[in-house]
Amino acid sequence: MIAVRGLTKRYGDVLAVDDLSFDVQPGKVTGFLGPNGAGKSTTMRVALGLDRSTSGEVLVNGRRCASFAEPLREVGALLDPGAAHPGRTGRAHLRVAARTNGLPARRVDEVVEQVGLGRAAGRRIKGYSLGMRQRLGIAAALIGDPGVLLFDEPVNGLDLDGVRWIRGLLRQLADEGRTVLVSSHLLSEMEQIADRLVVIGRGRLIADATTEHILSGLGRVQVRVRGAEPDLLLAGLREHGLAVERVDAHELRVENTTAEEVGRLAHAANVPLRHLSEVRQSLEDAYVELTGDSVEYHGGGAGRVAEGAR
């Protein structure tokens, strides 16, 4: 279990994390979401003992990570796939991790096989693609067979086969009863993988709930409808207090209702329908709604790119 308690972290005048508290429970994949600069990476770094908090704390299984004599047996993490020494081979990198944490040498071969590095493990890391570096970083996170795992953008650089593999791996780890915290900007992946979502913005907690609850609680079910007489249908729906907008000359979009209700009202108005469907809000829609006021770095139009550290 990971327990974040009143965590605050300042870098000079910059308040990166602001009195943040949440729990990450075992047996679940918890998605950690937020805009660039929200404080996700800082929170993970404090959890791993790589940064000190200004106040508050992050406990892993009731202890600070810095107190573990052999930390890879307790918690594994992928934060920066480029952190490995480029002159070493992948296998040598994993051997160092194993030896410094009192792990048997056989664990190197086991995790190499588990992440699919294969013969690439014998090559120098400087020749690795981003996807191969990701696999190596995941192997290092798994080498101690820890009960707690943190992954920061684990899908970056992976091809379709790799994305499907990491999706299955995260699910497997959680199903084994491990605590899994995953930060990602790929919301479609989080919608498929995460059991629970922790959303932060400007260092503060915005939401902490199951994925289903966030989608259903914020979800706006839209109904798309096409009728033989769109003007008559529009007037009839608005007469019953529904929020209706035109999509085009023939199609209407109705907010916060059901296809059954729209069909009933169309029948009452004697308007034959040609199309009727419900479109449920995606995680991306819910995320934009949740974090709209917390986005610090905005695009400035064509030809301009806004950048910011996470």
pLDDT at 207: 92
Report the share of the chain in percent with pLDDT over 90.
75
pLDDT of 221-246, one tens digit each? 789 999 889 999 999 999 999 999 99
29 has which bridge partners?
180
Looking at CATH, the fold of the domain delimited by 2-211 is given as Rossmann fold (3.40.50)
Question: Where do the domains of the chain lie?
Answer: 2-211, 220-280
pLDDT of 171-215, one tens digit each? 999 999 999 999 988 888 888 899 999 999 999 999 999 988 887
pTM for this entry: 0.78
217: pLDDT strictly greater than 50: yes
Q: How far is CA 102 from the centre of its chain?
A: 32
Give domain 220-280's CATH architecture: 2-Layer Sandwich (3.30)
208 to each of 15, 25, 89, how far by Cα in Å?
21, 12, 40
